[in-house]
């Protein structure tokens, strides 16, 4: 697996989110209580930015229609439940899809991200 060094841990404090670009693709890096996640920066529902998404435990909640995704697997927990009533209609505009997640590791006091095993060419992020 090929790893790309992003920054040192000191440069990315707890509770921080940052957009990064790897091989021309943007992704969102999150430091949640010392655990680092790398994920597609656009919500799979309507391709809107997730950067202002709320982190609850190991879940990110999209700020737009509150779809939520498991940060470890990308699995959908809720699909477009907001706003009440209208969310159901908005949710039906796009089929429920998982959020692409990329492997991360901390080594030598630095954060590393891999584009594998996700096939980046097929992931529209
Ligand atoms: S764009 Fe994220 S839930 Fe609609």
Q: Which of 106, 96, 114, 116 is nearest to 12 (CA)?
A: 106
CA-based torsion, 116, 123, 82, 88: positive or negative: negative
| Domain range list for the chain | 4-116
User: What architecture does CATH give domain 4-116?
Assistant: 3-layer Sandwich (2.102)
pLDDT of residue 121: 46
Could you tell which of 46, 51, 89 is best to mutate to test the pocket of ligand 1, judged by most ligand atoms within 8 Å of the CB? Answer: 46
Judge if the beta carbon of residue 68 lies within 6 A of ligand 1.
no
pLDDT of residue 83: 92
Question: Chain-centre distance of CA 80, in angstroms?
Answer: 16
Paired tokens of 65: 């229609």
Spell out the per-residue pLDDT of the chain, length 125, in tens.
899 999 999 999 999 999 999 988 899 999 999 999 999 999 999 999 999 999 998 999 999 999 999 999 999 999 999 999 888 888 888 889 999 999 999 999 999 999 875 554 455 55
pLDDT of residue 20: 96
**Phi, psi of 9, rounded to the nearest 5 degrees:** -60, -35
Could you tell which of 61, 80, 81, 98 is best to mutate to test the pocket of ligand 1, judged by most ligand atoms within 8 Å of the CB? Answer: 80
For residue 84, count other CB atoms closer than 10 A to its CB.
7
CB 46 within 8 A of CB 93: yes
Nearest alpha carbon, ligand 1 atom 4: 65
């Amino acid at each position: 697996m090929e790893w790309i060094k992003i920054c040192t841990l000191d440069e990315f404090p707890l509770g921080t989110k940052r957009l990064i670009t790897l091989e021309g693709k943007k992704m969102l890096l999150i430091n949640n209580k010392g655990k680092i996640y790398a994920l597609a920066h656009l919500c799979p529902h309507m391709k809107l930015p997730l950067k202002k998404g709320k982190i609850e435990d190991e879940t990110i909640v999209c700020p737009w229609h509150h779809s939520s995704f498991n940060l470890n697997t990308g699995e959908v927990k809720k699909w477009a439940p907001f706003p009440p009533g209208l969310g159901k209609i908005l949710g039906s505009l796009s089929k429920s899809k998982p959020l692409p997640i990329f492997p991360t590791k901390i080594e030598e006091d630095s954060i590393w991200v891999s584009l594998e095993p996700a096939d980046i060419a097929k992931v529209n992020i």
